[in-house]
Chains A and B, each alone.
Chain A
């Protein structure tokens, strides 16, 4: 229904219009509790009908608060977790129906950089081993070729080759995240999920790593699916943005449009909640979100956002607005914001 809307014509990095990865009505439900004496299990709708097209060489940012399902969506897109229903297509291949073997072969092209540079590297392996593993898994070549590639990867992310012999704990957070990036790029993927990849880093290091990601994207023609809670990073880094709330996309648009004129009240409130590094702007009275996020086990009727929305009216409590087209953009709201 909204396929064309989700790939607007105004994307900035749209040198290549081919769709790299797309999802149709993707859902992931978890069962919680239940059992012989515990009554029927309850269902958590972590992802609830997500339809999305990611174009080649763009940076698509997915923003939302904790528990909105953004991390799960990233994992399900790579089939690190199995979807409950819906389809995922990578360059035309349906991933959902793929067997273990072919899927493992495809993982060369689909990669992920994790949030926590401490937890994502095996503490008992040297950097050289960590980088060599994906190469070996896909039969890259002789041990000498693998060693050369590891050195090349280190240089690519701006580290000296001596680090091959180090353990992860001997590196700083920023250096470790560079290793995480190098490992993801070992087999020359074209689609990379970055799951909060700079969130754990200090401000000055964060800027370095973002610059690195940006350079690598240009050199290696990468497509990024950039999951973050940090709107400031999104603004600086993304071409298009999807805003997620309780398992659904509530707004999708280009970065410029979305930041200049948010359509969904949630997007607007999220943006206004970010502390601004300008003391002259403080005290400006900003609209503030009410209350707390509803539990994904017990979703409100109608629009999921109505319990927190300052503009909710009667229809919002009854009818669930789907993601609709509005002037070339997509928004899930009965009363999209006006200028």
Chain B
């Protein structure tokens, strides 16, 4: 996000000014303690997910029926589930899927929604009409049903989950971006750019886009938990991630049946979701402030 937030850097990567915009942003971000805590958490989580086989002594898939629903112990830090699998290990493996499912579709719907929203808001007329009616349809259609249809027809695999979630998510992004673009279009600096003979593409890319980035970051940090929840709903309904694969949503869904015998089975992955969502929110806040030039003095 930090990179794409500075379109000038993409246009003219060789000039000094743009490079220092990035540096300014990084410096401002580093000064934000909560954001740094959030970043540290996410980094640890990613490392844990990637290196799970080396970190954990347990096999996430092996069923040990005589070790069902054990309490927390030195061997099983968070206890075991109904198949006798180590909960902590399953959470680490689940992070692989949940993080990817949280981030990738959010990025895709953000990308589609931003492009269409800016085009729609700035060009107006027919473009606006077509894009907005399409978005209306997406929003009016029950999204869970839409996602399920995609999963049923194309099959339950990770790529199709991405597709289904992006299809559901872009419309609301496009709406928010469009309304921001409409407001920005009336700003004097946009009029100044038009008066200068700046082309529409450049206006959209280098004037409108940087000014919607703060909103995009907020939307992004909100859509990650949403995507994680969506994935768990789909998994719960049996069209998402298939057991014995683990995702956090699935872990919570399956674990809730043993809530009274072994609460950690459901609560632990729930806490993982909570902490991750909070971490992303802190990072989002930090980025938003860091990207605001008036906060960089």
A touches B in complex, CB < 8 A: yes
Q: Contact check: which of A108, A164, A167 meets B293 at CB < 8 Å?
A: A167
Any A CB within 8 A of the CB of B198: yes
The residues of A that contact B202 with a CB separation of less than 8 Å are: 133, 136-137
| Interchain CB contact under 8 A, B196 and A133 | yes
| Interchain CB contact under 8 A, A167 and B197 | no
| Interchain CB contact under 8 A, A137 and B211 | no
The residues of A that contact B12 with a CB separation of less than 8 Å are: 143
- Which residue on A lies nearest to B184, using beta carbons? A122
Any B CB within 8 A of the CB of A125: yes
* Whole-angstrom CA separation of A111 from B189 in the bound complex: 13
Which stretch of B13-21, B38-46, B86-94 is in the interface? B13-21
* Whole-angstrom CA separation of A114 from B191 in the bound complex: 9
The residues of A that contact B206 with a CB separation of less than 8 Å are: 125, 133
* Whole-angstrom CA separation of A121 from B189 in the bound complex: 5
- Proximity bits, A113-145, B CB within 8 Å = 1, else 0: 011100111111110110001101110000100
Any B CB within 8 A of the CB of A183: yes
The residues of B that contact A108 with a CB separation of less than 8 Å are: 197
The residues of A that contact B159 with a CB separation of less than 8 Å are: none
Any B CB within 8 A of the CB of A80: yes
Q: Distance (Å) between the CB of A31 and the closest chain B CB?
A: 16
| Interchain CB contact under 8 A, B211 and A124 | yes
Q: Contact check: which of B20, B187, B195 meets A119 at CB < 8 Å?
A: B187
Q: Contact check: which of B17, B195, B293 meets A169 at CB < 8 Å?
A: B293
* Whole-angstrom CA separation of A104 from B192 in the bound complex: 13
Any B CB within 8 A of the CB of A301: no
The residues of B that contact A262 with a CB separation of less than 8 Å are: none
| Interchain CB contact under 8 A, B196 and A129 | no
Any A CB within 8 A of the CB of B107: no
The residues of B that contact A128 with a CB separation of less than 8 Å are: 17
| Interchain CB contact under 8 A, B293 and A114 | no
Given contacts A108-B197, A143-B14, contact A167 B187 (CB under 8 A): no
Interface residues of B in 159-199 (CB under 8 A from A): 187-189, 191-199
Q: Distance (Å) between the CB of A185 and the closest chain B CB?
A: 11
The residues of A that contact B20 with a CB separation of less than 8 Å are: 165
* Whole-angstrom CA separation of A181 from B230 in the bound complex: 52
Q: Contact check: which of A75, A123, A138, A180 meets B197 at CB < 8 Å?
A: A138
Any B CB within 8 A of the CB of A95: no
* Whole-angstrom CA separation of A18 from B21 in the bound complex: 47
Any A CB within 8 A of the CB of B297: yes
- Proximity bits, A276-295, B CB within 8 Å = 1, else 0: 00000000000000000000
| Interchain CB contact under 8 A, A114 and B197 | no
Q: Distance (Å) between the CB of A86 and the closest chain B CB?
A: 20
Any B CB within 8 A of the CB of A78: yes
Q: Contact check: which of B14, B195, B291 meets A107 at CB < 8 Å?
A: B195
Any B CB within 8 A of the CB of A246: no
| Interchain CB contact under 8 A, A170 and B197 | no
* Whole-angstrom CA separation of A119 from B187 in the bound complex: 7
Q: Contact check: which of A104, A115, A125 meets B199 at CB < 8 Å?
A: A104
| Interchain CB contact under 8 A, A124 and B194 | no
- Which residue on A lies nearest to B210, using beta carbons? A124
* Whole-angstrom CA separation of A312 from B87 in the bound complex: 91
Given contacts A124-B293, A143-B14, A165-B20, contact A137 B196 (CB under 8 A): yes
Q: Distance (Å) between the CB of B272 and the closest chain A CB?
A: 36
Q: Distance (Å) between the CB of B128 and the closest chain A CB?
A: 17
| Interchain CB contact under 8 A, B8 and A183 | no
* Whole-angstrom CA separation of A116 from B186 in the bound complex: 13
* Whole-angstrom CA separation of A165 from B193 in the bound complex: 19
* Whole-angstrom CA separation of A183 from B196 in the bound complex: 8
Interface residues of B in 266-297 (CB under 8 A from A): 291, 293-294, 296-297
| Interchain CB contact under 8 A, A165 and B17 | yes
Any A CB within 8 A of the CB of B207: yes
Q: Distance (Å) between the CB of A107 and the closest chain B CB?
A: 4
Any B CB within 8 A of the CB of A222: no
| Interchain CB contact under 8 A, B192 and A107 | no
Any B CB within 8 A of the CB of A186: yes
* Whole-angstrom CA separation of A32 from B189 in the bound complex: 25
* Whole-angstrom CA separation of A78 from B296 in the bound complex: 37
Any B CB within 8 A of the CB of A112: yes
Any B CB within 8 A of the CB of A105: yes
Given contacts A143-B15, A164-B17, A167-B294, contact A120 B192 (CB under 8 A): yes
The residues of B that contact A121 with a CB separation of less than 8 Å are: 189, 192
Q: Contact check: which of B15, B198, B210 meets A134 at CB < 8 Å?
A: B198
- Which residue on A lies nearest to B197, using beta carbons? A107
- Which residue on A lies nearest to B21, using beta carbons? A126
7 pairs, A vs B, C-beta closer than 8 Å: A119-B187, A122-B211, A133-B202, A134-B196, A137-B198, A169-B294, A187-B197
Leading 5 A-B pairs by shortest Cβ distance: A107-B197, A134-B196, A120-B188, A119-B188, A124-B210
- Residues of chain A touching chain B, judged by Cβ–Cβ distance below 8 Å, are 75, 78, 80, 104-108, 110-112, 114-116, 119-126, 128-129, 133-134, 136-138, 143, 164-165, 167, 169-170, 180, 183-184, 186-187
